[in-house]
Chain A
Amino acid sequence: MRKNGFARHALIETLHTVQSAFGYLDDESIRFVARSLRVPLSQAYGVVTFYHYFSMKPPGKHTLTICAGTACYIKGANRLIAASEEKLGISQGQMTPDGLVSLMTARCVGACSRAPVVLFDGAVAGETPVERVIEQLERWAVE
């Protein structure tokens, strides 16, 4: 916040910083940011819920993100999503009850030439077959 001179228009920047530090945005942190920047709480809350990038749920220990951009979709990303959902017993956007894995989908990570793209804890893996995803999920499970 200091870097941006407590400017009101730096709301999104500030929320990014908070999310990258804590992994998600809870009520308390949104209130704190709104108060510090002298932005109405309704605006801060509106911004958080409007943008897909902000999450109000804590992430699991590991995050499996499957890109659902057009190129990945054409190359069968929906099969990857379905297989992961079945394996984990949750649907996209959720976390396993034990807090181990969050299953997310991304709009496009810009690695379309290597579709379908999967991010294992943020590391990009291109041309990923279903088996590779299942294998990684099993590896996380035994850790």
Chain B
Amino acid sequence: MTIEELEQIAKSVAAENASYDYEVDVCMDLACMSQGADRLRDELEKAAGAAGKSILIRRTGCMGPCSSGPLVRVEPDNHLYHHVQAENAGSIVSHLGGEPVPELQCDLDDHFDKQVRVVLENAGHIDPEKIDDYIGRDGYKALLTALTEMTPNGVIHRITESGLRGRGGGGYPTGLKWGTVAKAPGDLKYVVCNGDEGDPGAFMDRSVMEGDPHRVIEGMALAAYAVGASKGFIYVRAEYPVAVSRLTLAIRDARRRGLLGNSICNTPFSFDIEIRLGAGAFVCGEETALIASIEGRRGSPKTRPPYPAVSGLWGKPTLLNNVETYANVAPIIRNGGKWFSRMGSDRSKGTKVFALTGKITHTGLVEVPMGIKLREIIEVIGGGVPDGHTFKAVQTGGPSGGCIPAEMLDLGVSYDALMKVGSIMGSGGMIVMDDTSCMVNVAKYFVDFCRSESCGKCIPCRAGTAQMYTLLTRICEGQGTMEDLDLLISLCETIKETSLCGLGQTAPNPVLSTIKYFRNEYIEHIVHKHCPAGVCTIVAPAAEETAEVLA
């Protein structure tokens, strides 16, 4: 495969698309599928055949506003339809080229106007199972350009210049990490993609892997070229069977086209990718645990240093990045580092994909420039809290993050700003809570999660989360005391300081942030034996039997 051949494919894809009068894109992401998008597509094909129009019906990845699904986009009319059922297929086809179907018209301009799409630029526009669709939208151009015109150092330089930071949550500068791996001695190196999106309430990585799998592969290949690796692994959760099958297919197609394998683009560069399945362990999102899991062992973390960049998979230098980080690489190489660094805030560049869920009108995937105010994401893009309820808090970063109260909605989203208020960016789950959510109960939920996901290797995490859970359960049941609250805070500090890996170090975050911003709710439970949100079941307080939990 050479650049000329690539351009030839892109041209023929464009010519084929142009041979149709209309294009109907049907979102076939999990959320839309669960509402009958597959039956809708069959009906559309039937209706198209019956109407005798020349229509290209395309299955696409997630278009974004999942709460309005199933979604259908019609080109060149540029209409977006929402809540489309199989019965609507006929009227969509008959309205092609004219006025849109009035009852299906989706008016979400506010939702889309504030967004900037880099990672999701292809989502909703290409068929994820067709490599040519991706090539038709400049796919693999960055890889071939880099291989023929750039040195590995040039690639690293461009990534450093862009200011891209790890999208898995930690925010480590990507260029720096690549440089470390590139400098590490050894002729065998690995590139690993972390697709173990264990954070409940987040599904950005799933959507990227399912909706645009080649983007991840291209990003990994570029990374491999930059650091001098010849082998890559994508670690995907077993709970995402569609992502696994799409990636498998994408890797096979890329090999057939000569974009993976030996001597890519007639250069000495060789690279291939294997998929590894997770098996339901949150701790495997931690890099050393993930490496253990790829090696076929229990996912227990190790102490760092040595960092995986020096000694990772089978003791070799290993580059480990998140799905979304790799998804950002190809556009940066294509458009230049400066283009990327113009977006975003001072120290957090580019865009970030968030999964907006919970008590909010428009749930789904959004991609926004860094630095955007939380208020804009929630009130404008998300459409606010539905059913007349009032907004209480937004939870970011999953079980490692914290809850941000309404007073702080004018905060600009960036790694540092979120860290400062006691939460983290995380992988990008954003769960909105309203006045019917009890913050103590939410804290208890996350602690329960960490307790069962703790790998058990270090004691602060294994025993500490269990004790936190006991204390929170007592408070929720109305049996807690003010001493319990103080004990809880000091326990949190200890766990934070002494745990081995990220899971334990961040497990107290949900508790500490809720105590900090919603202390009155804790006091309400403890002193007045009352749950303001009406979620917790208060057990009649047993006067004498509150024995000390921590003996």
Contacts and interface: CB of A to CB of B under 8 A. Distances in A.
B203 A110 contact: yes
A41 interface: no
B437 interface: yes
B238 interface: yes
B51 interface: no
Given A51-B280, A124-B34, A112 B203 contact: yes
A56 interface: no
A123 B130 CA distance: 25
A114 B31 contact: yes
B341 interface: no
A107 B363 contact: no
Contact of A125 (B34, B442, B455): B34
Contacts of B30: 109-111, 124
Contacts of A46: 297-298
A94 B442 CA distance: 25
A62 interface: no
Contact of A74 (B199, B293, B433): B433
Nearest to A8: B296
Contacts of A10: 296
Contact of A107 (B31, B200, B298): B200
A9 B231 CA distance: 15
Interface in A60-97: 68-75
Nearest to B398: A70
A8 B294 CA distance: 11
Interface in B398-439: 398-399, 429, 431, 433, 437
B357 A71 contact: yes
Interface string A114-135: 1101000001111000000000
A100 interface: no
A54 B199 CA distance: 19
Interface in B479-515: none
A39 interface: yes
A47 B455 CA distance: 12
A70 B395 contact: yes
Contact of B279 (A51, A70, A72, A124): A51
B299 interface: yes
B200 A74 contact: no
A112 B363 contact: yes
Contacts of B280: 51-54, 107
A111 B37 CA distance: 14
Given A53-B239, A74-B433, A113 B357 contact: yes
A106 B295 CA distance: 25
A12 B293 contact: yes
A11 B299 CA distance: 13
A13 interface: yes
Given A12-B293, A54-B279, A106-B239, A113 B66 contact: yes
B308 to A, nearest CB: 16
A137 to B, nearest CB: 19
A15 B297 CA distance: 12
Interface in B293-311: 293-299
Contacts of B294: 9
B297 A47 contact: yes
B252 to A, nearest CB: 13
A43 interface: yes
A44 to B, nearest CB: 9
Interface string B346-384: 000000000111110001110000000000000000000
Given A10-B296, A71-B358, A74-B359, A110 B206 contact: yes
Contacts of A50: 281, 298-299, 455
Nearest to B244: A16
A9 B295 contact: yes
Interface string B437-464: 1000010011001000001000000000
B198 interface: yes
B112 interface: no
Given A9-B296, A70-B431, A111 B31 contact: yes
B296 A39 contact: yes
Nearest to A17: B277
A108 B445 CA distance: 14
A12 B296 contact: yes
Contacts of B85: none
A87 B298 CA distance: 36
B206 A52 contact: no
A126 B298 contact: no
Contacts of A125: 34
Central interface residue in A9, A43, A50, A112, by most chain B CB within 10 Å: A112
Given A46-B298, A112-B203, A71 B279 contact: no
B201 A70 contact: yes
B276 interface: yes
B202 interface: yes
Contact of A114 (B34, B278, B298): B34
A51 B442 CA distance: 25
Contacts of B199: 108
Nearest to B65: A113
A113 B240 contact: no
A54 B201 CA distance: 22
A27 B437 CA distance: 44
Contacts of A114: 31, 34-35, 66-67, 69, 363
Contacts of B239: 53, 106-110
B371 to A, nearest CB: 24
Nearest to B30: A111
B33 interface: yes
A24 B42 CA distance: 35
Contacts of B437: 74
5 pairs of A and B residues whose beta carbons are closest in the complex: A69-B200, A51-B279, A113-B66, A53-B280, A70-B201
Given A109-B239, A110-B30, 7 more contacts: A16-B277, A16-B279, A71-B431, A112-B202, A113-B364, A114-B34, A114-B69
18 contacts: A12-B293, A50-B299, A51-B279, A54-B280, A69-B200, A70-B357, A71-B201, A75-B359, A107-B200, A108-B199, A108-B203, A108-B239, A110-B239, A111-B30, A111-B203, A113-B31, A113-B355, A125-B34
